[in-house]
Structure formats: C-alpha cells, structure tokens
Amino acid sequence: MSTIAPNEHALLDSIPTGLFIGGEWVEAEGGRTFDVHDPATNAVIRSIADATPADGIRALDAAVAAQEGWALTPARERSNILRRAFDLVQAHKEDLALLMTLEMGKPLAEARGEVVYGGEFLRWFSEEAVRISGRYGSNPEGTGQMIVSQRPVGPSFFITPWNFPFAMATRKIAPALAAGCTVVIKPPALTPLTTIFFTKLLQEAGLPKGVVNVVQTSTSSKVSAPIIADPRLRKLSFTGSTEVGRKLIAQAAEGVLRVSMELGGNAPFVVFEDADLDKAVDGAMAAKFRNIGQACTAANRFIVHASVAAEFADRVSERVKAMTIGRGTEDGVTIGPLIDADAVAKASALVDDAVKRGARLLAGGYAIEGEGTFFQPTVITDVVAGSDILREEIFGPVLAIATFETEEEGVRLANDTEYGLVSYVFTEDLARGHRMIDALETGMMGLNVGVVSNAAAPFGGVKQSGIGREGGAEGIHEYLSTKYTLIPNS
C-alpha cells in the first residue's frame, strides 16, 4: 500500500467492505474476504467480503421480499430516487473517477468520461420511469374493450464486467429500478469497489431496503448458479464474453428466464478510399485505444482500402508512438495498464502470431517489464487472412490493419465473423454510408465517428454478440412484461 497517495487511502478507506443485503452492509458467510489490486502496481488496495452461494440466496431473498412494494411504488417516486442518485453521482464524480482508475487502471480523464456516461443512464431512466404506458381500445369485432398494460418483470440478477465498472452497473440498475424491478448485482471480482461506492449513493438517494443488493465474490459461477436456478428469479442480464454468455443462457433456460446478453465483439473499422483521413485517424484512436482497448465496442479489425492503407498506417503509428504510458492517476497518461497478466499474455500472443504470418510491426508490440501489467500501444499492418488477431477479440491496445480493394470485398471482410456488436465506417459518399447501414451485420454502427454509445440509444448486438438492448426507449422494455386484458361489452 506504500504506493498509494493519502487522498487515495482516504477514498479507499471510505468503501464499505461488506456485502449489501436487505439495506445493510453485512459480512460474508464465515467471514470470507478477497483482495482487490491496482493493476498499475499490483498493490492490494482493499480487502472486502467474499460472498458464498448462501449469501447469494440471502440477497435474492431480500430482493423478492422488496419486489411487491417496489412495484407498487409510484413511478414518480421511483423517478425521483433515480434523479437524486444522478445528482449524487455528479457531486461525487471525482471520487468515482479516481476509484475506477485505482481498481481498473484507465487514465483519470477517461474515468471522468465514464462517470458522465454512466450517470446519464440514471437521468435518462428517471425520465423513462414516468412514461411507461399501455393502450386501450375496442377489439376489431366490436365485442369488447382491450387493455394492454405493462408490469415489472420481477426480481433481476445482474452480472457485470470489470472494464466499465460504473457504466455497466448504472446501465442495468437504472432501467430495472425505473420499471419497478428489484435487483441482485454481482460485480466483477477485479473491479468491485465502484459498484459498492455507487450502492452507497443509491442508499443516500433514498432507495428502500432490499431493492438493490450487492454480492461481490471471488467464486462467480458458484454464487451465480443457485440464484439463476431459483424459481423466484425472473430476469438475468449479463455483460461479458460470448463463451460465458452461452453457459448462462443455458442455465436460464431451465427457468425460462428473460435474458439480456451483451456479449463479445470483433468490431470492423472500415476505411474506404474516399474517407476523410483526418476523421478516420481520430476515429481510430478513439475506437481502438479508449479504455486501453479493453472494450467490447473497441475496433478489432481495421479494414482499410489499399489505396490509403499506407498513409493511414503511418498516421496512426505516429499518434500511437506519442502516447504516454503509466499509472492512470499521473498527469498526461493516455495508456494505463491492462487488467491483469493474462490480458498481457493474450495481447502478446496475438501480435506474435500475426507477425509470424507476415504482418509488419509499425509501433509497440511488447509487454513492458516491471511492476504492473502494461503493454505498449501497438500498430501492425499487412495482417493476413487466418491470423488469430482477425478472429479473436483483442481486448488490448493493438491496432491491426488488413486491406481490401472493392466495396464488396470490404463488406465481406467486415461480416466475416460470428460477432455483430458494432461496426465503424469512414466514407464521404453518403449513398455508400447508407448502403453500409444495411450491409453490415451489427447491432450498432458509427458512420465517420469512433464512439457510438449514448444512454438515449439502444446498445446491443446481433449474431453471437448478444440478445436484447440496453439504453434508449428500448432499454426499459427489457424489464417489463406485457399483459392483455379483455372486457366484454356485455
């Protein structure tokens, strides 16, 4: 802990160490704990309660007990609580940002951006809570009146990822609360502190006991399985890898649970010959290196027209070589550590495989020795078909370039993946841009822009990238069930 500054110590000491069940901070069964580390230094920054399967069921008990009362809470009151939570997030934005940097590693400037983004889900769904509606009218035969109404799905279980610890919590919790659902959330073992701090703010905003419950654990599958198998649970939402998502969908099938799955991505970044390269290079830096490349929306395959590939590669390489690597709390740092040693090993293996197959290394390409888990921001070009880096999600600061000659080839290469979360297209031809909207098999697309996420927009993918949508008007419907009632005229 000697590498931690006094202000960091003070913040970390303010974080509760318990589980949050039924409105109380409690120890885990048997007093179990686990350590949270700073990936920039490998230092232990906090030891917290380590939930057992029994603790998970206790949390579900609390959510079930609170469900009826929360569902009957007026929409305006639910809205006001979410709005108060939004205001508290703004008041504590520096604490939240610093906490994310300490436990996840992202530069402080990016962490502040995540606080803004994640907070918007609280504001957006505070507004959507009072807009839940149905419809009323005569049936076509004229024999009765039809009422279509919306009801909360019920107790929901959330499994969130480590890479956006604040935004992933708010993106799931906010629509659930707006709809009238209670929650058990299992934050990631690598970055649980942000969710715990946010839960304190929800408590301060006046959230009733049992409506949100937090069970962090080092044994995720053991705690999750009995919750998912419990017949009282009605909804499962997960953000993470496709491999884990498939297993969770199979588990959820036993109880015919409503599921939302935001899974892996292998995003294409297509640069046509008529692209504005200033826009394309700016977009590439945002789409690839935001969050140190550790994002499901990160551009994974840069598919660049052969006529502009050399200039594009040179320009992004120049920008990448100028990036500053270090602990995210340091001034001017643009690239922090990867989350752990496994992430570094994966990035190294993907780069090595591509180079062995004939790709050229233009910048970076190596792990950095010393404390922390750092990998140099990297650019490789002339990546050939069959390279692992074109098939696997990199989840690191590696920009890999392949080339194409025709629009048809570019589309084929972009769609040549089992994933379909997001795509990025750079072209000054408006008609071509519209063609790409229809041609690319993804749930989202950025046209001449490298970041697409917005609380007011539906976030989600197709194919192996998931089921359902988060955010936008569509997001709240993931937590509502539709009921039809017929009232006969006589």
The question of whether 262 is a catalytic residue gets the answer: yes
Residue 296 catalytic?
yes
Single out the catalytic residue among 103, 110, 128, 262.
262
Catalytic residue among 296, 407, 441, 478: 296
Where helices occur in 445-489 by DSSP H, the ranges are 472-475
Beta strand spans in 340-420 (E) = 360-363, 367-368, 374-375, 378-381, 398-404, 419-420
- Please tell me the distance from the alpha carbon of residue 118 to that of residue 455, in angstroms, as a whole number: 8
Element (H, E) at 463: strand 462-463
Which residue in 251, 219, 245, 270 sits closest to 404, CA to CA? Answer: 270
Secondary structure (3-state) at 406: coil
Distance CA 381, CA 354 (A): 9
Q: Which two tokens stand for residue 228?
A: 């998912």
**Alpha carbon distance 20, 173 (integer Å):** 15
Give the CA count within 13 Å in the CB-facing half-sphere of 240: 21
Query: From residue 422, how far is each of 159, 199, 272, 404, 417 by CA, in Å?
Result: 21, 30, 17, 20, 12
Parallel, antiparallel, or unpaired for β 398-404 and 378-381?
parallel
Tell me which residues are annotated as active site: 262, 296
